[in-house]
Amino acid sequence: MTTTPPVTVPPFAVISGGQVQRVLGGQEKEIVELVEATYRLHGAGDSVNPPSYFLRFPDRPSSRIIALPASIGGPIRVDGLKWISSFPENVAAGIPRASAVLILNDHDTGYPFACLESSIISATRTAASAALAADWLSRDRARPARVGFVGTGLIARYIHMFLAGTGWLFDEVGVHDLSRDHAAGFAGYLEQSDTAGRVTVYDSAEGVIRSSDLVVFATVAAQPHVREVSWFGHHPVVLHISLRDLAPEILLASTNVVDDVEHCLKANTSPHLVEQVTGSRDFLAGTLAEVMDGGVSVPTGRPVIFSPFGLGVLDLAVGKYVYDQVATAGDLHVIDDFFHELRRYG
């Protein structure tokens, strides 16, 4: 006769950004593999990933805070919520645009068992998904040897780190940013790395796009600013991470892959604008999970654009990985008596 173990409330721990950084540092290959496995779980339906909720402010129209609830099954088996703010005006004050926390909930009781600083987790899962897409979307064409970055903030740096950490080597690296200082700072970072080829700062988006086989958009653009289809005539792989840089006509001339159809076609992203213009979703080839499973092929005779909205299940997967590593090392900062009233009748 088997006995069911008693249901207990898990202890509640707080994991700092420093701890997150120490766990994830140098683990690019392992995190990309984790993100790939999570995409496959999501594609197979072993997840719950409802629409994100945007908290907006009439007095601060450029800012927002986003809630990303999710649940992932498989071996990860955790629920949770990422709460991430985007305040672009922070950049002028010299502090990062985004800040975030991630709450992990116990699968069996629903009780939160961890709160993690999550801006690093968010950047990590975004960069890992970009590196994963770059690999899969270039498998049937010559591997890109020239990469260009439009936008040079934290996400661009993390994407470069994940490309380098998963074996990418580039002969040329192009950089463009509306801020000359930011472009110069990113170029300096690239030149100090051991993986960058010749680094060139471009005065225009056109210059860096035309000179790159792999183009990374990591901006804070609120609406399309790149409209010339001819700039993509060399059929690059495009990682459209910031989602709102490209005009509909560019997407219509390209093969389009997203992370999740329903999530990506909202909030006036570039793919959403195409749907509004055409009244159809026929311009989408499919999802990255479908590419990985062989259900979607990527032609070489046109640009291919990956537009990821960003899925909460990825945050959960990376967050749970961090939690497990910190717990195994015995370094959890448990908050004693966090859930104080646990007896139903006192």
Confidence (pTM):
0.94
167 and 90 together in one domain: no
Are residues 194 and 238 both part of a single domain? Answer: yes
CA neighbor of 195 nearest in space, from 228, 171, 222, 226: 171
Question: Do both 166 and 58 map to the same domain?
Answer: no
Q: How many helices, marked H, and strands, marked E, lie in the chain?
A: 11, 16
Are 291 and 316 found together in one domain? Answer: no
The reply to whether 194 falls in a domain is: yes
CA–CA gap between residue 314 and residue 72 (Å, rounded): 9
- Mark whether 280 and 155 lie in a shared domain: yes
Domains in the chain, number: 2
DSSP 231: G
Judged by DSSP in three states, 260 sits in coil
Name the nearest CA neighbour of 175 among 213, 215, 145, 140. Answer: 215
Q: Is residue 8 part of a domain?
A: no
Based on the fold, state whether residues 291 and 181 are members of the same structural domain: yes
Query: Does 163 share its domain with 231?
Result: yes
CA 81 to chain centre: 15
Do 179 and 243 sit in the same domain of this protein?
yes
Q: Tell me which residue range forms the domain holding 115.
A: 13-121+312-334
105 and 50 share one domain:
yes
pLDDT digits (tens, 9 = 90+) for 216-271: 999 989 999 999 999 999 999 999 999 999 999 999 999 999 999 999 999 899 99
pLDDT in tens, 331-345: 999 999 999 887 777
CATH code of 216's domain: 3.40.50.720
- Exposure string (b/e) for 5-25, b if CB count within 10 Å is 16 or more? eeeeebebbebeeebbeebbe
pLDDT > 90: what percent of the chain? 89
Examine residue 341 and state whether it is found in any structural domain, yes or no: no
Q: pLDDT tens for residues 48-91?
A: 999 989 999 999 999 999 999 999 999 999 999 999 999 989 98
Within this chain, do residues 316 and 237 fall inside the same structural domain, yes or no? no
- Whether 280 and 190 map to the same domain: the answer is yes
Are residues 162 and 99 part of one domain?
Answer: no
